[in-house]
């Protein structure tokens, strides 16, 4: 089955700096890679996703890049703000099948004012 | 429009007791899922359902049973609770294919914190 590794497990950055979270996956058939954000005590929510036919996707201060050859994808947050503090989960699946969605172990991002 | 609602939010059990977690969604989603979240382990799929009357095992199904008698409800049961089942449980639901993106965006409930003593 799919195995998703996520690094780092914790990350602290100064407000205004950029943050990068990296994930690798094992199944070359995976073609859909969502990122979920979970604020303290809250439920996970989708913040951005990317399909395997695209190398990069941006949404305001958030971007995701995908390298299919190396089987890794990354989340980039620019101009970080206090509200970006949360746990971020990457995930991977094939054929958009959530029943096969495998999550990474999460990255706790702390923005230092 | 409540989205995904889980009950109860908190529960403390003694080893060997049984209980049922209820998940209800009002978005007419076909798919429903139960995950558990443990520190450093991410979200792990326990069981899921792709439609009314169907259920299937996920990554960590042992010790749990599920039922989906109605499309909007998905029940997670613990027949004989063990301390290893102390966790936060999340229910989620999704379309089989999102009508716009074609992907299966998960909508999560608020979570249920279960402690087994």
pLDDT for res B81: 96
Each residue's pLDDT tens digit, A40-56: 999 999 999 998 888 99
Residues A76 and A19: their CA atoms lie apart, in Å, by: 6
Rounded distance, CA B48 to CA B50, Å? 7
Residue with tokens 């042992």: B62
Q: Which residue has the higher pLDDT, A29 or A44?
A: A44
Mean pLDDT of the residues in chain B:
93
- How far, in Å, CA of B68 to CA of B14, rounded? 26
Instruction: Please tell me if residue B60 touches chain A, with a CB cutoff of 8 Å.
Output: no
Question: Which of A53, A54, A62, A55 has the alpha carbon at shortest distance from A21?
Answer: A62
**Which A residues 30-89 touch B at CB under 8 Å?**
32, 34, 36, 42-46, 49, 51, 89
pLDDT at A74 over 90: yes
**A8 prior amide bond cis, ω within 30:** yes
Which of B43, B50, B104 minimises the CB distance to A103?
Answer: B43
pLDDT for B96: 76
Say if strands A86-92 and A102-103 run parallel, antiparallel, or are unpaired. Answer: antiparallel
First to last CA, chain B: 36
Cβ distance B43 to B34 under 8 Å?
no
Averaged pLDDT for residues A102-109: 95
pLDDT band for B31, please (50, 70, 90 cuts).
very high
Q: Does B89 touch chain A (CB under 8 A)?
A: no
Q: CB–CB of B59/A91 below 8 Å? A: no
Which of B7, B21, B5, B19 has its CA nearest to residue B80?
B19
Integer Cα distance of A39 and A50 in angstroms: 22
Q: What is the pLDDT of residue A71?
A: 96
Asked if residue B1 has pLDDT above 80, the reply is: no
Nearest Cα residue to B76 out of B117, B43, B29, B114: B114
Highest mean pLDDT range out of A68-82, A94-108, B28-42? A68-82
Distance between CA A49 and CA B106 in Å, rounded?
Answer: 12
Q: Which of B94, B101, B111 sits opposite A98 (nearest CB)?
A: B94
| Mean per-residue pLDDT, B75-90 | 97
Find residue A7's DSSP bridge partners: A22
Rg of chain A, C-alpha, whole Å: 13
% of chain B at pLDDT higher than 70: 94
Q: Is the pLDDT of residue B97 over 80?
A: no
């Amino acid at each position: 089955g799919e195995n998703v590794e996520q690094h780092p497990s914790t990350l602290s950055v100064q407000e205004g700096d950029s943050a990068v979270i990296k994930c690798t996956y094992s199944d070359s058939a995976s073609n859909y890679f969502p990122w979920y954000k979970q604020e303290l005590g809250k439920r996970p929510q989708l913040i951005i996703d990317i399909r395997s036919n695209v190398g990069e996707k941006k949404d305001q201060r958030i971007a995701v890049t995908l390298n299919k050859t190396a089987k890794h994808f990354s989340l980039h947050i620019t101009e970080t703000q206090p509200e970006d503090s949360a746990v971020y989960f990457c995930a991977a699946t094939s054929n958009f099948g959530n029943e096969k969605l495998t999550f990474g172990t999460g990255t706790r991002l702390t923005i230092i004012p | 429009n409540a989205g995904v609602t889980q009950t109860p939010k908190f529960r403390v059990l003694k080893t060997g007791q049984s209980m049922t977690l209820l998940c209800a969604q009002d978005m007419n989603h076909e798919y429903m899922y139960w995950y558990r979240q443990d520190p450093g382990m991410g979200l792990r799929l326990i069981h899921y359902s792709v439609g009314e009357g169907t259920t299937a095992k996920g990554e960590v199904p042992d010790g749990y049973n599920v039922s989906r008698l109605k499309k909007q409800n998905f029940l997670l049961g613990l027949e004989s609770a063990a301390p290893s089942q102390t966790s936060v449980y999340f229910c989620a639901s999704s379309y089989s294919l999102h009508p716009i993106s074609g992907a299966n965006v998960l909508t999560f409930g608020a979570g249920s914190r279960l402690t087994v003593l």
